[in-house]
């Protein structure tokens, strides 16, 4: 499989880009890989890059977007931060990726048993981590069940995963609200912004369409 070129990127639509990721995740789950020569892709991308998707995911070592979607060099922009939330710098990176570099799809990828989400659920305090977890706490507050305070912590994995899902959805809302560039592109059908959840037990990605 060759690296994407300006010509192949131009043929990609938001829907086709999503399908590429879905097919890649199926290959990953089946322990299959597309036939690609990474060293050849190094050479192919030395003069430029033409990715088709931008993926915001957690820094979790088990959730590498390139691996779980079976993508090669030059295929995706990968933005990683604990808890997969956005800030001004990440929004700027996404605007570059879509408006200037031509990607057709933004995926906010959360995952089950997320450590950053667990920290937000437990109101953890530690250096700069404290301020970072504050970005995830709106999702904690939005998940209203269970009401019992003793069940609203990291020991309740169902609650943690509910918060992780809500965090993905709130992040998408923030992207649309805080980036007029990306919101306009989506309204015109030039890009699609969707959420997804990676299951650390199965390797499967569920998309929120």
Binding residue positions for Zn(2+) = 58, 60, 111, 114
CA angle 81, 87, 90 (to 5 degrees): 65
Cβ-Cβ contacts under 8 Å for 134 (sequence gap 6 or more): none
Q: Nearest Cα to 107, choosing from 143, 79, 126, 135?
A: 79
Q: Which two tokens stand for residue 119?
A: 């920290």
Annotated binding site: 58, 60, 111, 114
Q: Which two tokens stand for residue 50?
A: 């033409």
DSSP element (H, E) containing 30: none
**Number of CB atoms found within 10 A of residue 202's CB:** 10
Distance CA 66, CA 89 (A): 22
Q: Which residues pair with 74 in a beta bridge?
A: none
CA angle 114, 118, 122 (to 5 degrees): 175
**Cis peptide bond upstream of 146, omega within 30:** yes
């Amino acid at each position: 499989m060759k690296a994407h070129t300006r010509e192949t990127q131009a043929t990609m639509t938001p829907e086709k880009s999503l399908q590429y990721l879905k097919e890649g995740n199926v290959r990953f789950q089946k322990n299959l890989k597309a036939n690609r020569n990474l060293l050849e892709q190094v050479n192919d991308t030395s003069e430029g890059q033409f990715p088709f998707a931008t993926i915001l995911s957690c820094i979790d070592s088990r959730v590498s977007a390139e691996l779980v979607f079976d993508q090669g060099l030059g295929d995706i922009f990968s933005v990683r931060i604990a808890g997969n939330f956005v800030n001004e710098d990440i929004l700027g990176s996404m605007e570059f990726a879509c408006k200037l570099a031509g990607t057709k799809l933004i995926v906010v990828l959360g995952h089950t048993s997320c450590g950053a989400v667990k920290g937000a659920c437990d109101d953890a305090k530690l250096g700069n981590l404290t301020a970072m977890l504050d970005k995830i706490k709106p999702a904690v507050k939005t998940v209203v069940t269970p009401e019992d305070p003793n069940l609203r912590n990291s020991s309740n994995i169902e609650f943690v995963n509910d918060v992780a899902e809500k965090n993905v959805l709130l992040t998408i809302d923030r992207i649309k609200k805080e980036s007029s560039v990306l919101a306009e592109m989506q309204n015109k059908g030039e890009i699609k912004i969707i959420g997804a959840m990676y299951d650390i037990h199965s390797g499967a990605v569920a998309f929120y369409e």
